[in-house]
């Protein structure tokens, strides 16, 4: 089939950014028909009126339809005029939606190409941070302390893991290290800047209740060493000695939700006490 014979079966996707959003929408729509008969051609990063004229002229030769996501007014108006002058079928995917959302929010759109890809970058950074938190959870690999933005340190049941995951969703790479008197503290913990370490502690009575409940949930006797008050005091004293050696800020997480503790850490970052 020649190009002229293919007239009416070609769709030009035009964008002043990458154009993958527009192409996806077009393919989704075309899939409702015999889409093997439709050719889709994408034109990305169209930022010059002369390029618009070339695209429109080519579309006129094929009798192609133009579908576009163009936020820069100058380019959008040039494309609309070029389509109108040549009698081309064209469809603006983005502008009507921008208008509706702007009306709902009472805001004016930024009209900057490619912002969605910046959002995508944020998504991938979040995924990377979550994977980091899983990889370096519970002191699994001390080498991760060098790579971390924030290092959480504390005895068992001070919410190190859920706090690591919460902060990962805020795009911070977080490692955490459990403190146990019988287990040597990783040397890496004293080699990294104290400004990215946060100590977590709990009131002994609260920690006793939490650990007792934990043992019960596991079907273990509540009087195990793990939940005995003398053992808890030993661990907490050990932890505070480590905090003192590091010189890091310490947060008492007693009766605090993970979100509250995270908010304190974010405020410490904002104030310069913690420097990821």
Q: Please tell me the predicted confidence (pLDDT) of residue 95.
A: 83
SS3 176: strand
Q: Please tell me the predicted confidence (pLDDT) of residue 246.
A: 97
Q: Please tell me the predicted confidence (pLDDT) of residue 35.
A: 67
Q: Which residue ranges make up the annotated binding site for ADP?
A: 154-161
CATH 3.30.160 fits 10-113, yes or no: no
Beta-bridge mates of residue 40: 11
Contact present, 263 and 198 (Cβ < 8 Å): no
Q: Please tell me the predicted confidence (pLDDT) of residue 2.
A: 42
Beta-bridge mates of residue 91: 67
Contact present, 77 and 48 (Cβ < 8 Å): no
Q: Please tell me the predicted confidence (pLDDT) of residue 223.
A: 82
**DSSP letter, residue 171:** T
What is the full per-residue pLDDT of the chain (276 aa) written as tens digits?
A: 444 444 458 999 999 888 888 888 898 998 888 767 789 999 988 988 999 999 999 999 999 999 999 988 899 999 999 999 999 999 999 888 888 888 888 988 787 777 766 666 777 888 899 999 999 999 999 999 999 999 999 999 999 999 999 999 999 999 999 999 999 999 999 999 999 999 999 999 999 999 999 898 889 998 899 999 999 999 999 999 999 999 999 999 999 999 999 999 999 999 988 888
SS3 172: coil
Q: Report the topology of domain 116-270.
A: Rossmann fold (3.40.50)
Q: Please tell me the predicted confidence (pLDDT) of residue 122.
A: 77
Contact present, 274 and 196 (Cβ < 8 Å): yes
CA atoms within 13 A on the CB side of 237: 6
Q: Which residue ranges make up the annotated binding site?
A: 154-161
Phi-psi region of 125 (alpha: psi -120 to 50; beta: other; left: phi over 0): alpha
Contact present, 150 and 196 (Cβ < 8 Å): yes
Q: Please tell me the predicted confidence (pLDDT) of residue 116.
A: 65
For the chain, what are the domain ranges? 10-113, 116-270
């Amino acid at each position: 089939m020649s190009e002229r014979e293919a007239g009416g079966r070609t769709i030009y996707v035009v964008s002043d950014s990458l154009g993958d959003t527009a192409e996806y929408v077009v393919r989704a729509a075309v899939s409702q028909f015999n889409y093997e008969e439709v050719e889709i051609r994408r034109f990305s990063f169209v930022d010059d009126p002369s390029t618009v004229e070339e695209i429109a002229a080519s579309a006129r030769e094929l009798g192609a339809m133009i579908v576009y996501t163009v936020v820069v007014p100058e380019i959008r108006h040039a494309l609309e005029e070029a389509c109108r002058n040549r009698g081309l079928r064209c469809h603006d995917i983005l502008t009507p939606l921008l208008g509706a959302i702007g009306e709902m929010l009472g805001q004016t759109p930024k009209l900057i190409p490619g912002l969605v890809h910046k959002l995508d970058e944020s998504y991938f950074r979040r995924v990377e941070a979550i994977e980091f938190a899983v990889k370096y959870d519970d002191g699994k690999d001390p080498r991760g302390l060098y790579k971390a933005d924030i290092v959480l340190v504390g005895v068992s049941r001070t919410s190190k893991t859920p706090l690591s995951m919460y902060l990962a969703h805020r795009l911070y790479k977080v490692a955490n290290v459990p403190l146990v008197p019988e287990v040597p503290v990783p040397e890496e913990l004293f080699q990294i800047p104290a400004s990215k370490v946060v100590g977590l502690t709990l009131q002994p009575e609260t920690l006793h209740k939490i650990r007792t409940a934990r043992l019960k949930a596991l079907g273990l006797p509540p009087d195990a060493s793990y939940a005995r008050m003398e053992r808890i005091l030993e661990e907490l004293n050990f932890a505070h000695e480590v905090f003192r050696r590091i010189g890091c800020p310490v947060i008492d997480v007693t009766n605090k939700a993970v979100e509250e503790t995270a908010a304190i850490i974010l405020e410490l970052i904002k104030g310069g006490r913690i420097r990821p």
